Amino acid sequence: MSRKTQKPALGTKSGKRNRIQSISAVLATLALASGLAACTSASASDESEAGNADGFGSVTVQLSWLKNHEFAGFFNADHEGFFEEAGFENVEFLPGGMGGTPAATAIISDKAWIGIASPTDIAAANAEGADLKIVANTYQKNPFTLVSATTDPINEPQDLLGKTIAIADSSATNWDAFLKINDIDPDSIDRVPYGDAQNDLKLGNIDGFMGYGDGGSPLRAEGFDAQEFYLADFGLAYAGESVVVAADTLENEREKVTAFITAWARGWHSAFADVDAALELVLNDYGKDQNYSLDELHLWWENQEYLILTDTSLEEGIGIITDEALQENLDTLAVLGFDFDPDQLFDTELIREVYEANPDLIIGAES
């Protein structure tokens, strides 16, 4: 049976909206706790000074996309001085996206010390001889979507046949994975460069495009009737925005990685406690050259909230990698021909250690 009559467009899913509103209410109460950030800062600062007197120097982070809301946790950690308190002299952020360097490549070539990538990208790199480890999954649910017009909707993978779909080069691995999982011949779809995909959809030049974290919200905000579905709902089950380092870095500099991830977790905690301030920081500082509008950042954030703050991460911490999620990631990667043991791709203990040492950073623990 066609899902066209079963599943509403992502933009109209009342259950999702209600859940986001509920989470937002919890976060609003957090923002009222005036002493929270100060207490957390003092605790982490004391630990940093006690264990890292010599400091960790400067590091470079390879982002997976342009500097936007997706990396608010990093930006908040930098702006609020959390990285500095953890022992880092300076943290530089390298933008990714079209024309950018993938995190796996940047880390292997020593261009970056740590990065953000998809599990497929890390699996592909390791299959070619790299030795990288994922230490946190920021997005608990795969963020990619397929956006189309409600007047000519694409509601499921089979609706893609014969359609013209815009795909960014940086999303190609994930797109190919989605097609393979759903047994769709790539030649049955006219794939075109991403370019100005949103405008091309409005003009009718394409039938859809692969979005990230939503994709249709900005179009709906402009009055264009767009819809989307998460590729995760059709088999693309691995996480998104994974934090990755070289395996030898994890082995030889575990304390440094732990300090960095602790500051990163503090950054996300701070961002969710005051979303307006976090987005203003993206708008006016880190992503200033992208000319975002505050309205579109808020639209994107709403969907990002859905991807990050799951029941599990609210209970166990942002970035957590549960045993169930680990197996789900590995099973999906195996379908694509990547057959790895868990410890060949993931270190699930470090992020747990961070929250065991800093339970006040678990958002759900305070609700």
pLDDT tens for 20-74 read: 444 444 444 333 333 333 333 333 334 333 345 569 999 999 999 999 999 999 9
Average the pLDDT over 125-151 and give the result: 97
**Domain extent at residue 39:** 33-141+238-366
Question: Which of 219, 234, 249 marks a domain boundary?
Answer: 234
**Claim to verify: residue 113 and residue 254 sit in the same structural domain:** yes
Same-domain check for residues 136 and 268 = yes
Q: Which pLDDT score is estimated for 2? A: 24
Q: Are residues 331 and 251 in the same domain?
A: yes
What proportion of the chain, given as a percentage, has pLDDT over 90?
A: 76
Residue 289 lies in a domain: yes
135: three-class secondary structure by DSSP: strand
- 10 falls within a domain: no
Mean pLDDT over 314-330 rounds to 96
| Domain closes at, from 234, 268, 299 | 234
Q: Is residue 155 part of a domain?
A: yes
Name which residue leads in pLDDT, 243 or 26. Answer: 243
Is residue 179 helix, strand or coil?
helix
Asked if 334 and 246 sit in the same domain, the reply is: yes
Which tokens is 267 given?
């950054």
Q: At what angle do helices 323-335 and 119-127 cross, to 10 degrees?
A: 60
Same domain? 157 vs 271: no
Neighbouring residues of 365: CB distance < 8 A, sequence distance ≥ 6: 315, 359
Is 295 found in the same domain as 214?
Answer: no
Written as six digits, the tokens of 257 are 């990685």
Please report, for the domain that includes residue 157, its CATH number. 3.40.190.10
List C-alpha distances in Å: 37 to 32, 82, 104, 352, 367.
11, 11, 33, 21, 15
pLDDT greater than 70 at residue 206 = yes
- Give the predicted TM-score (pTM) of the model: 0.81
26 lies in a domain?
Answer: no
**Cα–Cα distance, 4 to 1 (Å, whole number):** 9
Is the same domain home to 95 and 122? yes
pLDDT band at 221 (very low <50, low <70, confident <90, very high): confident
Residue 22 lies in a domain: no
Same domain, 319 and 346: yes
In a domain, 190, yes or no: yes
Q: How confident is the model at residue 367 (pLDDT cuts 50, 70, 90)?
A: low
| pLDDT (mean) for 100-112 | 96
Instruction: State the DSSP code for 101.
Output: P
Environment class of residue 93 by beta-carbon count within 10 Å: exposed (0-12), middle (13-18) or buried (19+)? middle
Three-state secondary-structure class, residue 284: helix
Considering 177, 207, 234, which residue would you say is the last residue of a domain?
234
Tell me what pLDDT residue 299 has. Answer: 87
Which pLDDT score is estimated for 28?
41
Question: What pLDDT is attached to residue 366?
Answer: 67
Domain total in the chain: 2
**Inside any domain, residue 1:** no
Residue 244 in any domain: the answer is: yes
pLDDT band at 349 (very low <50, low <70, confident <90, very high): very high
CB contact set of 340 (below 8 Å; sequence gap of 6+): 123, 126, 330, 333
Do 125 and 157 reside in the same domain of the chain?
no
Q: Are residues 119 and 158 in the same domain?
A: no
30/264 Cα distance (integer angstroms): 18
Record the tokens describing residue 240, joined without a space: 């998104």
Give the pLDDT of residue 318.
Answer: 98
Single out the residue of 15, 85, 113 nearest to residue 266, CA to CA: 85
Whether residue 253 is found in the same domain as residue 333: yes
Domain check: are 152 and 133 in the same one? no
Smallest CA-to-CA distance from 200 within 219, 181, 214, 174 is with 219
